Structure 1
Amino acid sequence: MSARLESLPTEDTPEAVLHRVFGHAGFRGRQAEIVAHVMAGGSGLVLMPTGGGKSLCFQVPALCRPGLGVVVSPLIALMEDQVAALRQQGIAAAALHSDLPEEEAREVKRDLARGATKLLYISPERLTLDGTLDFLARRPLALFAIDEAHCVSQWGHHFRPEYRGLGLLAERFPTVPRLALTATADPRTVEDIRAQLGLTESPVFRGGFDRPNIFITAAPREQERAQLRAFIKQASDGTGAGIVYCGTRAKTEQTADWLRADGHDALCFHAGLPPEAKRDAHRRFARGDAVIMAATIAFGMGIDRPDVRWVAHLDLPRSPESWYQEIGRAGRDGLPARALLLYGAGDIALARHRIAESPATEEQKRIERARLDAMVSIAESPTCRRRILLRCFGEDAPERCGACDACLTPPHLFDGTIAAQKLLSAVLRTGRRFGLGHLVDILRGRTTDKVAQFGHDRLPTFGVGKDLSETAWRGVARQLVALGALDVAVENHGELVPTDAAKPILKGEQRVMLRAETLVAAAPRDRARATQPAMAGDPLFEALRAWRKQEAEEQGVPAYVIFHNETLAAIAERRPQDAEELAMVAGVGRSKLERYAEDVLDIIHRHG
C-alpha cells in the first residue's frame, strides 16, 4: 500500500500536528516547552530517557516551521525505520546514507531539489561533505536535529569521530535551530556535547533519566544458563522480544545455539557477521516476532521496537551509561519490563586490565576506571540499584525505588573481615599462584589430588573455612575483587593476587562488610504477571496483531510502525464502531486512519 505523502501547511500549530499526524491528545513532560523553544528559533540539548518521546521534540517543529528538517542519525537501520514510520503517518520523509542505491539516492536528491521532502535523515559523514552543505545552504531549513548526541563526545560510550565534524553547523547555519538529543549522558559528556556543537549558551532540557517500568535485578554469575532460563521464563510474555547482551562474539553464537536447543526462536548479532546476515537478523527482530537476540553491543542504537520485554547482560558492562542505554531498549511502550545483570570477578578484573593496558591518556584512563567502579558499585550494591544508577547522571532519587531486587528483597550484610582475612591468607600462603577453585578446596578442607600434590593440606589455612559454602566463598572473593583488595591475573590462568588494599584488611585495620550470597533474586510472581500486555490472549487483540504482522510484511516495514501494541490494546478494549471513534484512539493519526480504518473496523465487527 503506497503512502500519500505531504508537506504540512506551516500555519499548523504544534498541538494540531501532534493530534492530527501522530494521534496524540497532548504533549508529555517537557515536550511542549522544547517544541515552543525550537518554534521560536532556539537551539538546545535534550536529555530524555529512552521511550520518553525525544523524536516528537524535533519532528513536530520540523513539520510546523517552513523549510526542510535535517536529522543527523548514526545508524542506517535507525534512519530507515524512522523514515518508514513517518511515511506511515503521511509525512514526506527520506534518508540519505552510504548504503542507498545510486538510483534511489538520485531520486531523494531530486525530491529535495524541488522541495518535495519535509524531513531528511542523513548520516554525519554524508552531511559534512562540502557538496551536501552547499546544497542545504541554498534551501530554507526548519532545523537541524542531532540524534544520539552522545556520539559527539569523546567521553560518550558510543563515541563516533565523524560526529565531531558537526560543530561546523553552528558556523555555516547560525540562524537555523540546532537540537541535540540523547538518552544517556553523564555531566562530563553533557558539557562536551555542548562545547562541540556550539550549544554552551543554549538551554539544557532535562526530562529525567528514570525508567520506573523496568525492574532491575543483578546477581553473581554462578549458573549462567540456569539463571538466564529462569529469568526468561519469568520475564517473557510470549508476544514481545528479549535481548541477551554478551561480552564476546563467540558467546553470542553459543548463547543463541543453546537457546534454540531450548526451543526459543533465537538469533545472534555481532560486528563480525556478514552484512546480509546482520540485516536479516535486524529485520527479523524489527518485524515484530517474539524472538530473542543474543548480541554484542554492536546491536545497539536504532533499536526502536517498543515491545522488548526484557534485556539480560551475561557480562559486566563497561560503564553505567552503556548499561543504561542497553537496558533502556526494554519497555519503550511504557509497560512493565525487566533487566537482569549477571557478572563475575573475572569481568571486573578483565575490565580493569583493559583500561590499564589501553593507549588512552592517563586522564581518560582515570575517567574509565571511575565509570567501571560505578558499574561495580551498582552490581554489588546492598541498597537501591536505581538510586546509584541515577546518581551517575547527576539525578537524585528516593532511597528505595521499589523496582529493583535490592529494594524488594534487601540482602543480608555480615561482618566479613575474618572471612576476608582467611581468603587473603590462603592466597599468600600458596604463593599467589592458584585460582579460586583450589583456594576454596583448601579453605573447606578438601584433600584433592592437587591439594595433596602441593602439600597445601598442611597449611594453617587448611580447613579453616568449613563454615562457609563454596558459593559463599566465591562471593567473598568476588566482593574483594570489587573492593580492589584482590586482583585476577587474567593474562595467565586466573590466579588471585592481593593488592596493596589487602594490607589493612590482613592487619585488622579495616572492617569488611560483605553481602550474604544468594542466586538470582526473583521478583514476586504477581510482578512477573504484570509484564503481560493488558490484552494478551484476547481474541480481538490477537487478530489485530496478526493483521498488523501481515500488513507489515507486505509493506516491508517493522510491525510497530503500523501500530504500537498499546494502540492495538486500546482498540481491542474500546472496540470503536466507526472511523470517528477509531480516530479518538491514541496513536491513530489522520494518515493511518485513511489507510487502515476499513481493515481495523472489519476485524472489530467480525469479533463483535
Structure 2
Amino acid sequence: MFDPSYDSFDYSDPSPTLDDARVLLKRVWGHADFRGLQADVITEIMAGRHVMAVLPTGGGKSVCYQIPAILRPGVGLVVSPLIALMTDQVEALKQQGVAAARLDSGMTADERSAVWRDARNGDLDLLYVSPEGLAAGSMLERLSELQISLIAIDEAHCVSQWGHDFRPDYRTLGKLAEVFPRVPRIAVTATADARTREDILASLHLQDAKVFVDSFARPNLQLNAERKINGSRARTDARVVELVCERPRRSGVVYCGSRDGCDRLAQELRNNGVNAISYHAGFDNRERDVRLDRFLNEEDAVMVATIAFGMGVDKPDVRYVIHADPPGSLEAYWQEVGRAGRDGEPAEGITLFGPSDIAWSLRRLEGRPMAEEVKRVQIRKVRQLFAMLDGATCRPQAVRRYFGEAIAEPCGGCDICGDPPQTFDALVPAQKALAAVQRLGERFGRTRVVDHLIGKSKDNAAWETSLSTFGIGKDLSILGWRDVFDHLMFEGLLVEEATDGYPIIKLGEPDAVRGVYRGERDVRVKRPPAREVIEKPRKNIGRNLPAETLDTDVRARFDALRNWRRDRAKEQGVPPYVIFQDKTLVEIAVQEPRDFNDLGRINGVGAGKLERYGQAVLDALRQIA
C-alpha cells in the first residue's frame, strides 16, 4: 500500500553554495551573475527551505528552481499548467545541455516509459508534469519512488480563487506537502496581490515559506491606453489594424474578447499584408498546436487570440501586446502585457477600452458559478482595471501600487507621463447625472439620459419635463456628458444592464453614490468640458530596438546570424529563440568574436551552446567578413 508520508531518501548531503550556483549560471546560461532577487530565492531553496517568489514577467523565475534542481541530489519536479509551457522550457533546457523531460497526455506510451526509465536511473535533472497529470492514476506513487530534489509550482496564482486564472486542479497540490514532507517546495508567479499570496501559501501548505516579492517594474515596457470611439466594432478593428501596420515586421499579440472577433480581425490584418494568425478554443488541440508553432517560429507573426492563448508562451521577442478588448483585472492585464519584451528590449502594451467593455466583463462574472464573496472581489478587480485605464495616473505606477509597491514613482515613459491629460472637477456633473438616472427610474439608456440632462425630450412628456433634473446639464456638451458617464461607469457609480437586449443605465454601489451626493467623493474626469474633443492625429509610438539602429555592417552580420538561426531551428523543429535570443545575436554581431574564447564571453552563450553552435556561428561571421 502506498504510504503518502513515506520518505526513504537521505537529504543530509551538504547544500550547494551560491558560488556553485553562479558557476552553473555562467556555464549553462552564459550569464555572469544573478539579477533582482534570484540569488536570495536560490539560496533559500538550496538550503532545503520552502519559498514563494513573486517575480516580474521576464525576471528569470524559472532559473530560481532550475539551478537548485540541477545542483541538489535527485530530480526536480516542476508542476506547470500547460503543455506549451512545459514543451518550451524542456526544449530550451535541452539546448543548454540540461537533462530535462516532460510527462503529458500528448505523449505515446513508449515515450512516457522512456521518461520514467531515465528518471529512475538518475538521468534527469528536471521533470515537468501538469497538475491534472499529477492527480491522475498512480503518478504520485511512482514519483514517491524517486529522489526528488525540489518541487516547483509554476504559475502559482492559478491555485487562488482570488486570482485571475483560478484552476481547480491546482487546489489539489497541497497534498504534495504530505507525500514529500522533506522536499523543499517553491511556488512562483508574476502576478499576485497580497490576498492572492495569502491564499497560495495556505492552499499549498507553505505557511512556513519565506516570501520574496520583487518590484513589478518593467522599465522596457511602454504602456498606453485609448478610449474606444463610440464603441464601434468596425472602428476598433480599424484602429488595431492601424496600430499593427505602424509596427511592421515585428512580432505581436492582439487580444480579442470573442472567437469571431479573433477570426475577423486576423483576416482584416492579413488583408493589409500582416502575417496574422487567429487562435482560440474553437480550434481543436492539434490545430491550436499548429498555429502556436507558426507564431513561435515565424519572426514577424502576429497572434490574434482570446485568453485561451498566452500563459506558457515564452517567446522573448514579442514587441507589443494590443488589447482590442481589455481583460477583467489588473492581474490579467499585467500578465498579458507582460508577454511583450521578455528579452528586456523595448516593447509596448496598448489597450483599447470603453464602457461597453466593463459592462461585458461584469455580465460575464454574473454568469459564473462562484461564492458571493469571491464575486464581489472579482467585480472590484474589474472596476480597478478600468479606473486605471481611464485615470490620469502613470500607468505602471498605478499597477505597481495595486500590487503593494507604495513607493512606486512615475515611469516617465507611458502615455500619461508623456502627455499628461487635462482633468476637471466633475463632482457637480456627476451629481446631476446620478440624480437624472434616479429621477428617470433607472429605465433608460445613456443617450436618453443625456438628452434629458440637456433638455432634449424625445416626446416632451409633461411627466419628464416637470422633473427637477430636466435641462440642468445644458452647460456641458453631449461629448462632455459622454465622458462623464463613461467615467462614472468605470468607477462603479453607474452600471449598464441589458434588458430585453437594450442597455439600461442604473445606479451603482450605494455607498459610493451617497458619497458623491454628499460631496465626500472626489470625481475628476479627463478632457475639458467647455469644448468638443478633437481627436489627435495618430502617430507611431513604437520605440526603436537596438537591432534597428545598428550600423550597416553590423546589421549585415545580425541578419546573417538570424538566417543561420532560422535554418537550424527549422532543422530541429524548435523556435528560433530557443537557439539564441535576438539580444544575444545583436551582441555577437557588435562584438564580432574571432574565436571560442571571445564567443564564450558574450552574455547568453553558455558552455552547452558554445560547444553545439560555436563553430557554426564563427563560420557564419567569417562568410560575411
**TM-score between the two structures when normalised by the length of structure 1:** 0.90
Q: Within 5 A, what are the aligned runs for 1:281-292?
A: 281-292=291-302
Equivalent residue, structure 2, for 1:515: 526
- The one of 173, 188, 198 equivalent to 1:181 is 188
- What SS does the corresponding residue of 1:293 show, helix, strand or coil? strand
> Which amino acid letter does the alignment assign opposite residue 578 of structure 1?
D
Deviation at 1:150, TM superposition (A): 1.0
Equivalent in 544, 547, 559 of residue 542 of structure 1: 559
Alpha carbons 2:245, 2:274 under 8 Å: kept:
no
CA distance in 2, matches of 1:59, 1:262: 43
The answer on whether the counterparts of 1:22 and 1:588 sit within 8 Å (CA) in structure 2 is: yes
Q: Residue 38 of structure 2 corresponds to which residue in structure 1? A: 31
CA drift at 1:94: 0.7
CA distance in 2, matches of 1:15, 1:72: 25
Contact 2:160 2:166 in 1 (8 A): yes
Q: Tell me the C-alpha RMSD between the 2 structures.
A: 2.9
Amino acid aligned to 2:483: G
SS of the aligned residue for 2:152 comes to strand
Q: What is the Cα deviation at residue 504 of structure 1? A: 7.1
Instruction: Check whether the contact 1:335–1:533 (CA below 8 A) recurs between aligned residues.
Output: no
Distance 1:127 1:428 in 2: 54
Alignment-derived partner of residue 589 in structure 1? 606
Aligned partners of 2:497 and 2:503 also within 8 Å: yes
Query: Partners of 2:197 and 2:615 in 1: how far apart?
Result: 47
Q: Does 1:50 align with 2:64?
A: no
Residues in 1 aligned to 2:36 and 2:507: alpha-carbon distance in whole angstroms: 50
Pair 267,464 (structure 1): closer, same or farther in 2 beyond 3 Å: farther
The structure-2 alpha-carbon separation of the partners of 1:229 and 1:130, relative to structure 1 and needing over 3 Å to count, comes to: closer
In structure 2, distance between residues paired with 1:519 and 1:578: 59
Q: Aligned equivalents of 2:85 and 2:549: distance in 1? A: 29
Shift of 1:51: 0.4
What is aligned with 1:383? 393
- How far apart, in 2, do the equivalents of 1:576 and 1:79 lie? 33
Separation in 1, partners of 2:375, 2:566: 47
Q: Is 1:212 equivalent to 2:224 in the alignment?
A: no
Residues 377-435 of structure 1, C-alpha deviation per residue, up to 9 Å, x if partnerless? 21121122222211221112444221222222111111334544565566567665443
Distance 1:588 1:371, change over 3 A: same
SS in structure 2 opposite 1:21? helix
Task: Give the direction of change, closer, same or farther, for the CA distance of 1:219–1:471 in structure 2 (3 Å limit).
Answer: farther
The code of the aligned residue for 2:503 comes to G
Query: How do 1:163-312 and structure 2 match up within 5 A?
Result: 163-222=170-229, 223-234=235-246, 236=247, 238-312=248-322
**Amino acid corresponding to residue 494 of structure 1 in structure 2:** P
Counterparts of 2:493 and 2:35 in 1: how far apart (Å)? Answer: 47
Per-residue deviation at 1:532?
A: 5.7
1:79 aligned to 2:86? yes
TM-score between both structures, scaled by the size of structure 2: 0.87
Instruction: Report Cα offsets for 1:507-529 as digits up to 9, x if no partner.
Output: 8887743211768889986x633
Match of 1:396 among 406, 428, 431: 406
Range that drifts further, 69-78 or 156-165: 156-165
Secondary structure (helix, strand or coil) at the match of 2:128 reads strand
Structure 1 residue 232, shift from structure 2 partner: 2.8
Q: Could you tell which deviates more after superposition, 303-312 or 419-428?
A: 419-428
SS of residue matched to 1:494: strand
Aligned to 1:493: 502
Q: Is the 8 A contact 1:127 1:133 kept in 2?
A: yes
Count of matched residue positions in the alignment of Structure 1 and Structure 2: 593
After superposition, the C-alpha distances for 1:199-241 in whole angstroms (9 at most, x for unaligned) are: 111201222211121111122111423432443345x3x4431
Q: Gaps spanning 5+ residues in structure 1: where?
A: 1-9
Q: Which runs of 5+ in 2 are unaligned?
A: 1-15, 230-234
Residues 426, 125 of structure 1: alpha-carbon distance in 2 compared, 3 angstrom cutoff: closer
CA distance in 2 between counterparts of 1:208 and 1:417 reads 35
Provide the residue aligned with 1:359 in structure 2.
369
Q: Aligned pair in 2 of structure 1 residues 466, 530: CA closer, same or farther (>3 Å)?
A: farther
Deviations 1:248-298 (A, max 9, x none): 222111221211122211111111212222111111111142111111111
* Aligned residue in 2 for 1:7: none
Residue 549 of structure 1 and its aligned partner are, at CA, apart by: 1.3
Q: Are 2:542 and 1:528 equivalent residues in the alignment?
A: yes
Q: Secondary structure at the match of 1:530?
A: coil
Please report how far the alpha carbon of residue 300 of structure 1 lies from its aligned counterpart in structure 2 after TM superposition.
2.0
Identity of aligned residues (%): 44
